[in-house]
Structure 1
């Protein structure tokens, strides 16, 4: 067992497109835990195995709230607001989550599906009218989830250029300097505070309006919690899906037999989304740190009270003890559920919304753009750098004209 912390970049290097570093497989076989140092914060234990990941993410002996006041291990300069959902444990976390959870239930999300489908169809109508090629990210992958979350939350979609920049800063690892991150995150906070003030002056039937009511009339959250939750939902509500749409398209285009299966059977799309969530490594590093509240035996190693642990979800989703041939994309896979949306109390609040949007996006692209393929070669794809989420920044596509 390695007890001396090594830097993340020393072990894994920079993420390469959507590939998984083979070092993860070696760690799963040979070391249950590894001491690492992320770009920011104190050293931590790194978890790479599926079952260990579920323990860290779901066991109350591991705490997110204990990170408050600590220099927690992280890949980004920005640590987030103390009012954020991600910085609380139950019961405080449960109190905050209940205030917004009803907006993201399976039933409520299904009610949003027709609107999401309408947006997707309108975007594809525009692409088809202009004719191929098109740029998937700007023409489709970004506007679809941004429009949905803006309408749900109560944010003017025409302001997306501004809050897209602020979101990029929020998620920056090296793309922006610490000073720029502080500036842009501050601008986003001022913008959200202004929207909250507008909702107070003119009450509206949207999620910000519901949170304002919970703050002002029911005293169920603080002003800082109101602001932090609004910011968090805006960023998380579009960024993951906007990244995963081009990631999924890229993955299917580079696995033509799986793409052919989806084309032949559109009913396979929900299962395809689950397998793609398992297979595609959205993050390049590790998730938010959890701190052991007591000594815990994990994978044969004693994690001492007060020590932080970080989870590599991309590794847990490729654990060969859980998945047969885990490095193969198999859209018919029926094994254990993935941890692409996390696990435990902090399981992604918007998982159902993301699933629905990804299903709508894949269905619309595959069914309405016959012969969907790369425009040019893979070398024409521009990949994101310096940010917490992986994927194409530009993905030119083309298709067969009718």
Structure 2
């Protein structure tokens, strides 16, 4: 079904399970674009709104990242991490119970839990997590492209600092 995105670009809406599965399993979809300036955008987010990455190296970059990350996301590793996700969820639900009624499940759980889980996986120190969350929200901003680009830049810069710190002090979490 032909549609237009929020930014007015042409788009296709695919809803049938078999069609979606075929697209996801095939080579036609990706995050990069051969000419990013002419690519359709769904919104103004630098992170989610349009193309991201290098078109020429997207497949090899994906394979490399997958091979690096796969051991950390194995079924065994995820089972071991489950208790931590349960604890994070319980903490957020306890905080939610303290909110005035009606409480906003989206703001107090759905948006926060994935960021907290990512912080745990990356080893983001507790004192940096509020700033990490702010950068993540900025990067995902679907209305303000400049804010989104700055948030993505801040996250990338922080990630580089985090990696450098872990390389300098590998035993530290």
TM-score by length of 2: 0.72
Q: Could you tell me how far 1:204 is from its partner in structure 2?
A: 4.2
Given that 1:166 and 1:184 are in contact with CA atoms closer than 8 Å, whether structure 2 keeps it comes out as: yes
The partner residue of 2:33 within 57, 67, 71 is 67
Q: Could you tell me how far 1:123 is from its partner in structure 2?
A: 4.3
Please name the residue that 2:133 is paired with: 164
Larger RCO (CA under 8 A, 6+ residues apart): 1
Alignment map for 1:302-313 (pairs within 5 Å): none
Does residue 82 (structure 1) correspond to residue 53 (structure 2)? The answer is: yes
Does residue 199 (structure 1) correspond to residue 166 (structure 2)? The answer is: yes
Give the structure with the larger helix fraction: 2
Higher Cα Rg, which structure: 1
Gapped regions of structure 2 (runs ≥ 5): none
Does residue 121 (structure 1) correspond to residue 90 (structure 2)? The answer is: yes
Please name the residue that 2:23 is paired with: 56
User: 1:198-230, CA deviations, whole angstroms, 9 ceiling, x for partnerless residues?
Assistant: 122212476xxxxxxxxxxxxxxxxxxxxxxxx
Given that 2:32 and 2:53 are in contact with CA atoms closer than 8 Å, whether structure 1 keeps it comes out as: no
Give the structure with the larger strand fraction: 1
Given that 1:124 and 1:140 are in contact with CA atoms closer than 8 Å, whether structure 2 keeps it comes out as: yes
TM-score by length of 1: 0.35
Given that 2:5 and 2:43 are in contact with CA atoms closer than 8 Å, whether structure 1 keeps it comes out as: no
- C-alpha distance 52-111 of structure 1, shift in aligned 2 (>3 A): same
For residues 160 and 143 of structure 1, the distance between their equivalents in structure 2, rounded to whole angstroms, comes to 11
Given that 1:40 and 1:76 are in contact with CA atoms closer than 8 Å, whether structure 2 keeps it comes out as: yes
Gapped regions of structure 1 (runs ≥ 5): 1-32, 207-402
Given that 2:9 and 2:42 are in contact with CA atoms closer than 8 Å, whether structure 1 keeps it comes out as: no
Please name the residue that 2:117 is paired with: 148
Aligned residues: 166
Given that 2:33 and 2:52 are in contact with CA atoms closer than 8 Å, whether structure 1 keeps it comes out as: no
Q: Describe the SS at the equivalent of 2:134.
A: helix
Q: CA RMSD in A?
A: 3.4
Q: Could you tell me how far 1:131 is from its partner in structure 2?
A: 8.5
